[in-house]
């Protein structure tokens, strides 16, 4: 390998961005050439142009075929629908199968809808049963049925076993490829078997040791095999404690364990401790990414992942559930204000000032909630410590309420020249920050203890409370003391 | 290892939660016994109680010493300050050094502040220069200086080299422990060297091959060494393309590469392609976790990580910067409403309805923004595709605006029995959703192209625009058509 090649391996991100840019350029040129060809149909179309066109397609084809499946999947996600199809058509069959597995669920559904069914079935037949199980839920039922029929019985049973696990369970993410040794073998025996095998599954850093009934007895790190005397019995090296998972465990828990103990792979067992699979760090990173991505989308009020280039109709519908919830809370808030229309009619300044009270409350409450949700995600809030957190947040609420309430009160006095208005404003801010602190602690704790995801919908609920209470406190105090 | 021990290795998360629960129980008992001891001072204190007390401390000590450093770090983070110190006192010196590295920055600063300086220095002296560099920025300057002096010159140069890298660079996260082979060696030579070495650094899945000038020539997977003929020259196995990083690269980019190519470790080189370090998947998971955690906190309007049990004063101050920004935008929004006090005075219903218009706009804009930010994070939005995304979001805005605007308009008519009010309401919602779509696309794109993190502050800016424009559009239309 020449040093120049080596330089080319650096900056994988830059290279990927360049590939994407280059493909977009080729596609744009393709479109221009197509348009020109349409304008001057028939014999008039000149040779040079045809040549350019063919060259352009050849260049696109060459670039696509040289790419890694994961990179192509990324590029398909980034392209608009018609470009996506132009590139997809250039991907050779075996590469296409890998790309299909690597790409996002939204893009996979798009490809299935736009590709001839026979081609999709042929592509799926190239996949091993585990990869097939991974993409199975994004396939239409007819295709699921057709592909199932083409499988051998052993493959079908792996497929059926895998899709039975919950999407969030370790069993859904584990692989069935691992290296095992019998507890009666010596290191020399194991090394001989490995040499006969020729290659090991990706991310193999441990050999799993099992007994005659296939019960997991321990594991041995690969480097240990290299450095120990071949005559040593393998079981002598399995002494250390190790981490394993059950296939029905929540995958989320595996993420913390992999992070905490710096694991590369770990055995997965059934309820009788028999070895059934292996969890690797790349699958764990997928779990982590999925969780982070879902949380970001949920905090924006989206129920599921969305293809950036999905049809506007699909996208619009994806956004309705949370819009509907938001609308209901907005209506209710509106009715709170509605009860005070008499006061507002007498003093319209109240309408101008009331959003400030609500806004400060929402902001503070969301800060508290972000901290509590993060602590809950790592199980670090013990029930008997919740009161302590609440007390602290209440203290902060009172301190911030006095400080910012004073500022807001002075602002109101300077603009409207009414002392009582400023005092009412200050009192409302103070009280609303106390409400925000309580809601910010109790909403995520409540959602968590009822078994729900505290991040989901917590922000909508909190804003509803801080808006509603903010308006109620401010306008209520105004009715008593101002008019 | 008996099968019962094996069962105990399962469910690492459950076990950790049990450990935390058990430690909290011991600490609570400790506190009760202490309180009792204070009540009946002197000879009155009975023997049984003293015995209980001693037993309790011994049990806590035993449990703490048996734990993994990462688990203890997690438990320290979860405990309230005085409990944290009780546990910290029980941690033996070598374990304490590892716990100190593993725990969060916030807790680390707390431990430094609460522990005798001489003890902290002794603990830091146990760390290798890389771990020391990792925790260096959370140490007070006097301690930094004292520790630097105790280092040997080779260690000090590693420390100085490491802390020179930016917190977000690959160099900050890389390790200096790796296994390398000279390109002239055979597999047999390398295996002999490995055996002589006895153990390999954690997460070693590849041997890096370098030339005489220490320039990286390629890498060989560990399993390959096991299965190939020992006479083969090592350089014959480095043919495949591989991914490497430069120490000054952004660590964020390494996360995508590790995810995309399922890496366990990768070489890090300097600008002349000389091997200077190794990036491992556990460090990459740390980068991923830090980024996700920071984003969650930022979306809640917190500038930095916060110890859940930090003093209320520190916590309050951590929350001020965003509260101040929020207050400024709230004041400005308030002044928008202030311009329409005349209209509101004539028709107080406007004050009750205006939060609905603002709220729907904020919700829709945040949905759009969540999608655009996620696409920007993966570099999937090409500049020439931005217009397309904007067009689509505008279409969705108009469709949703018509649908939800109608609903909201009907609501207004049913409550106030005024047709024009309903029509004004509907028009305002429609227009504000168009504003929200534009802002939701352009704000993150603008922040991104000016080199800033699009997630930081985008939500505050968007809410400001949708609130302000919502009020302005609704009240403005009302002034023209209603009063």
* Nearest residue on chain A to B384, alpha-carbon basis: A24
Name the domain boundary from A173, A207, A238: A173
**In this model, does residue B467 exceed pLDDT 90?**
yes
pLDDT of residue A11: 43
CB contacts, 8 Å: A1 with chain B: 217-218, 238-239
Q: Residue A255 corresponds to which tokens in the numbers above? A: 């993420």
Residue B468 covered by a domain: yes
pLDDT tens for residues B377-433?
Answer: 766 666 667 788 888 899 999 999 999 999 999 999 999 999 999 999 999 999 999
Comparing CB atoms, the residue among B1, B200, B302 nearest residue A238 is B1
Which chain B residue is nearest to residue A328, measuring alpha carbons?
Answer: B356
What distance in Å separates the CA atoms of residue B381 and residue B55, rounded to the nearest whole number? Answer: 63
Mutation site, B32, B84, B206, B355, interface A, largest A CB count within 10 A: B355
In 3D, which of A104, A77, A17 has the Cα closest to residue A290?
A104
For residues A360 and A225, membership in a common domain is answered with: no
Are residue A329 and residue A189 in the same domain, yes or no?
no
Token output for A463: 């804003």
| Antiparallel, parallel or unpaired: β B206-210 and B216-221 | antiparallel
Q: What's the whole-number mean pLDDT along residues B334-353?
A: 93
**How far is residue A314's CA from residue A112's CA, in Å, rounded to a whole number?**
16
Are B225 and B149 in the same domain?
Answer: no
Reported as a pLDDT band with limits 50, 70 and 90, residue B9 is: very low
Distance separating alpha carbons of residues B356 and A326, to the nearest angstrom: 9
Chain A interface includes B20 (CB < 8 A): yes
In A, which residues are within 8 Å of B300 by CB distance? 366-367, 369-371
Partners of A269 in beta bridges = A246, A275
Q: How far apart are CA B453 and CA B377, in angstroms?
A: 9
For range B16-37, the mean pLDDT: 80
Cross-strand partners of B210: B182, B216
**Do the strands B275-280 and B265-269 form a parallel or antiparallel pair, or are they unpaired?**
antiparallel
Weakest-pLDDT range from B8-12, B132-136, B158-162, B462-466: B8-12
Q: In B, which residues are within 8 Å of A245 by CB distance? A: 10-12
Helix axes A419-449, A349-377, angle to 10 degrees: 30
> How are strands ordered across the β-sheet holding B275-280?
B245-246, B265-269, B275-280
pLDDT of residue B44: 56
Strands (E), A6-150: none
How many interchain CB pairs under 8 A, A with B?
409
Q: Chain B within 8 Å of A483 (Cβ-Cβ)?
A: no
Residues B365 and B447 in one domain: yes
* Cα gap B218→B211, rounded to integer Å: 10
- Chain A residues with CB under 8 Å of B400 CB are 316, 319-320, 323
Four-residue CA torsion sign, A252, A254, A255, A256: positive
Q: Would you state the pLDDT for residue A1?
A: 34
Q: How many CB atoms lie within 10 A of CB A289?
A: 15
Instruction: Read off the tokens for B199.
Output: 């153990």
Q: Does B334 touch chain A (CB under 8 A)?
A: yes
* Angle at A448 (CA atoms; ends A444, A451), nearest 5 degrees: 150
Domain boundary among B139, B173, B207: B173
What pLDDT score does A423 carry? 95
Give me the tens of pLDDT residue by residue for chain A, a chain 483 residues long. 333 333 334 445 566 777 788 888 888 888 888 777 776 655 556 777 778 888 888 888 888 888 888 889 888 888 888 888 889 988 998 899 999 998 888 889 889 999 998 899 999 988 888 888 888 888 999 899 888 888 888 888 888 888 888 888 899 899 988 999 999 999 999 988 888 887 888 888 899 999 989 999 889 988 888 778 888 899 888 866 778 899 988 888 888 889 888 899 999 998 888 999 999 999 999 888 877 777 767 766 676 666 667 777 878 887 888 888 889 999 999 999 999 999 999 999 999 999 999 999 998 998 888 888 877 776 666 666 778 888 889 999 999 999 999 999 999 999 999 999 999 999 999 999 999 999 999 998 888 888 777 766 788 889 899 999 999 999 999 999 987
C-alpha B452/C-alpha B33 separation (Å) is 54
Which of B223, B364, B388 is the closest to A323 by Cβ?
A: B364
- Is B222 part of the contact surface with chain A (CB cutoff 8 Å)? yes
CATH of the domain at A194: 3.10.580.10
Residue B3 inside a domain? The answer is no
CB within 8 Å: A338 and B415: yes
One domain for residues B280 and B332: no
Q: Is residue B2 part of a domain?
A: no
SS (H, E, C) chain B: CCHHHHHHHCCHHHHHHHHHHHHHHHHHHHHHHHHHHHHCCHHHCCHHHHHHHHHHHHHHHHHHHCCCHHHHHHHHHHCCHHHHHHHHHHCCHHHHHHHHHHCCHHHHHHHHHHCCHHHHHHHHHCCCHHHHHHHHCCCCHHHHHHHHHHCCHHHHHHHHHHHCCCCCEHHHHCECCCCEEECCCEHHHHHHHHHHHCCCCCCCCEEEEECCCCEEEEEEEHHHHHHCCCCCEHHHHCCCCCCCEECCCEHHHHHHHHHHHCCCEEEEECCCCEEEEEEEHHHHHHHHHHHHHHHHHHHCCCCCCCCCCCCHHHHHHHHHHHHHHHHHHHHHHHHHHHCCHHHHHHCCHHHHHHHHHHHHHHHHHHHHHHHHHHHHHCCCCCHHHHHHHHHHHHHHHHHHHHHHHHHHHHHHHHHHCCHHHHHHHHHHHHHHHHHHHHHHHHHHHHHHHCCCCCCCCHHHHHHHHHHHHHHHHHHHHHHHHCC
In a domain? residue A167: yes
Which is higher by pLDDT, A230 or B302? A230
Average pLDDT across chain B, whole number: 85
Same domain flag for A329 and A445? yes
- Does the pLDDT of residue B11 top 80, yes or no? no
* A323 within domain boundaries: yes
Residue B374 has pLDDT above 50, yes or no: yes
B interface test, pick of A260, A261, A398, A439 with most B CB neighbours within 10 Å: A260
All residues of chain A having their beta carbon less than 8 Å from the beta carbon of residue B68 are 260-261
* DSSP state at residue A180: E
Confidence at residue A209, expressed as pLDDT on a 0 to 100 scale: 93
CATH code, domain with B124: 1.25.60.10
Tally of domains within chain A: 3
Considering the domain architecture, whether residues A449 and A326 belong to the same structural domain is answered as yes
The separation between the first and the last C-alpha atoms of chain A, rounded to the nearest angstrom, is 85
> pLDDT-based confidence at B284, cuts 50/70/90?
very high
How far is residue A142's CA from residue A132's CA, in Å, rounded to a whole number?
Answer: 15
Report yes or no: A6 at the B interface, CB cutoff 8 Å. Answer: yes
Report the distance separating Cα B411 and Cα B356, nearest Å. 11
Helix axes B12-39, A383-416, angle to 10 degrees: 80
Predicted confidence (pLDDT) per residue in B82-100, tens digit = 888 889 988 998 899 999 9
Nearest partner of B316 among A398, A291, A159, judged by Cα: A398
Flag whether B134 is in a domain: yes
Instruction: Please answer yes or no on whether B269 and A197 come within 8 Å at the CB atom.
Output: no
Model confidence at B278: pLDDT above 70? yes
Q: Are residues B241 and B289 in the same domain?
A: yes
Q: Which residue has the tokens 């004041």?
A: B331
* Residue A399 three-state SS: helix
Maximum separation of any 2 CA atoms in chain B, in Å: 95
Q: Are B164 and B273 in contact (CB under 8 A)?
A: no
Q: By three-state DSSP, how is residue A233 classified?
A: strand
Minimum CA–CA partner of B179 in chain A: A223
Residue length, chain A? 483
CA distance B66 to B76: 15
**pLDDT value of residue B10:** 42
> What is the C-alpha separation between B269 and B286, in angstroms, rounded?
21
* Same-domain pairing of B396 and B477: yes
Beta strands A245-246; A265-269: pairing state:
parallel
The whole-number average pLDDT for the span B241-269 is 87
B27 and B150, same domain (yes or no):
yes
Which residues have CB under 8 Å from B40's CB, separation 6+?
none
Query: Model-level pTM?
Result: 0.78
Q: Which of A204, A292, A353 sits opposite B334 (nearest CB)?
A: A353
pLDDT attached to residue B43: 56
What is the per-residue pLDDT across B158-179, written as a single tens digit (0 to 9) for each? 888 888 888 888 998 999 889 9
All residues of chain B having their beta carbon less than 8 Å from the beta carbon of residue A286 are 259
Residue B476 lies in a domain: yes
Considering CB atoms only, which of A194, A352, A370 is closest to B299?
A370
Whether A435 contacts A466, CB under 8 Å: yes
Q: Among A342, A374, A382, whose Cβ lies nearest the Cβ of B20?
A: A382
Q: What is the pLDDT of residue A250?
A: 86
Same domain, A18 and A82: yes
Whether B186 contacts chain A with CB within 8 A: no
Q: B128, B144, B173: which is the final residue of a domain?
A: B173
Long-range contacts from B145-150, C-beta under 8 angstroms, 24+ separation: B146/B117, B146/B121, B147/B121, B150/B121, B150/B125
ipTM: 0.77
Kindly give, in sequence order, each residue whose CB lies less than 8 Å from that of residue A43, ignoring residues fewer than 6 positions away.
Answer: none
Return the pLDDT at B421: 94
Inter-axis angle of helices A12-39 and A69-78, nearest 10:
60
Q: Which of B31-45, B186-200, B251-265, B414-428 has the highest mean pLDDT?
A: B414-428
Q: Is residue A431 assigned to a domain?
A: yes
**Same-domain pairing of A146 and A269:** no
Domain span at residue A249 reads 180-254+264-280
Percent of chain A as helix, strand, coil, to the nearest 5: 70, 5, 20
Residue B53 pLDDT grade (very low, low, confident, very high; cuts 50, 70, 90): confident
Which of the 8 DSSP states describes residue A375? Answer: H
User: Within the 84-143 window of chain A, which residues sit less than 8 Å (CB to CB) from chain B?
Assistant: none
B226 to A411: CB separation less than 8 angstroms, yes or no: no
- Tell me whether residues A344 and B344 touch, CB distance under 8 A: yes
Shortest CA gap B56–chain A (Å)? 20
Contact between chains at B227 and A195 (C-beta distance less than 8 A): yes
């Amino acid at each position: 390998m020449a040093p120049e090649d080596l330089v080319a391996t650096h900056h994988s991100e830059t290279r990927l961005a360049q590939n994407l840019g280059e493909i977009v350029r080729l596609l744009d040129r393709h479109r221009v050439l197509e348009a020109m060809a349409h304008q001057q149909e028939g014999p008039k179309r000149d040779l040079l142009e045809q040549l350019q066109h063919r060259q352009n397609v050849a260049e696109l084809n060459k670039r696509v075929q040289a790419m890694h499946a994961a990179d192509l999947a990324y590029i398909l996600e980034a392209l608009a629908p018609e470009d996506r199809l132009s590139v997809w058509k250039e991907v050779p069959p075996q590469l296409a199968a890998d790309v299909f597995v690597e790409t996002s669920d939204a893009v996979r559904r798009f490809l299935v809808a736009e590709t001839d069914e026979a081609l999709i079935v042929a592509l799926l037949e190239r996949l091993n049963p585990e990869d097939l199980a991974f993409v199975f839920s994004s396939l239409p039922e007819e295709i699921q049925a057709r592909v199932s029929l083409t499988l051998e019985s052993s493959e079908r049973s792996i497929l059926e076993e895998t899709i039975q696990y919950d999407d969030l369970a370790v069993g859904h993410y584990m692989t069935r490829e691992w290296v095992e040794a019998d507890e009666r073998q010596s290191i020399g025996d194991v090394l001989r078997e490995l040499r006969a095998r020729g290659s090991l599954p990706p991310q193999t850093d441990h050999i799993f040791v099992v007994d005659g009934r296939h019960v997991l007895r321990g594991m041995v790190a690969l480097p240990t095999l290299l450095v120990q005397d071949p005559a040593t019995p393998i079981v002598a090296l399995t002494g250390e404690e190790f981490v394993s998972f059950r296939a029905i465990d929540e995958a989320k828990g595996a993420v913390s364990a992999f992070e905490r103990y710096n694991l590369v792979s770990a055995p997965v067992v059934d309820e009788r401790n028999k070895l059934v699979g292996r969890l690797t760090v790349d699958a764990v990173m997928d779990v982590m990414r999925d969780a982070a991505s879902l949380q970001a989308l949920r905090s924006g009020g989206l129920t599921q992942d969305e293809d950036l280039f999905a049809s506007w109709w699909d996208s619009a519908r994806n956004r309705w559930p949370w819009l509907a919830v938001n609308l209901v809370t907005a209506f209710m808030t509106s009715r709170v204000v509605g009860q005070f229309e008499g006061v507002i009619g007498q003093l319209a300044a109240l309408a101008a000032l009331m959003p400030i009270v609500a806004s400060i409350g929402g902001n503070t409450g969301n800060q508290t909630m972000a901290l509590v949700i993060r602590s809950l995600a790592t199980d670090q809030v013990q029930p008997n410590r919740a009161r302590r957190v609440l007390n602290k947040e209440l203290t902060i609420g009172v301190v911030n309420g006095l400080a910012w309430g004073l500022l807001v009160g002075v602002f109101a006095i300077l603009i409207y020249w009414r002392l009582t208005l400023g005092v009412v404003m200050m009192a409302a801010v103070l009280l609303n920050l106390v409400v925000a602190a309580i809601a910010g602690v109790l909403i995520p704790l409540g959602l968590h203890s009822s078994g729900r995801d505290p991040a989901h919908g917590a922000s909508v609920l909190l804003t509803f409370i801080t808006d509603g209470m903010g308006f109620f406190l401010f306008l209520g105090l105004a009715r008593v003391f101002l008019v």
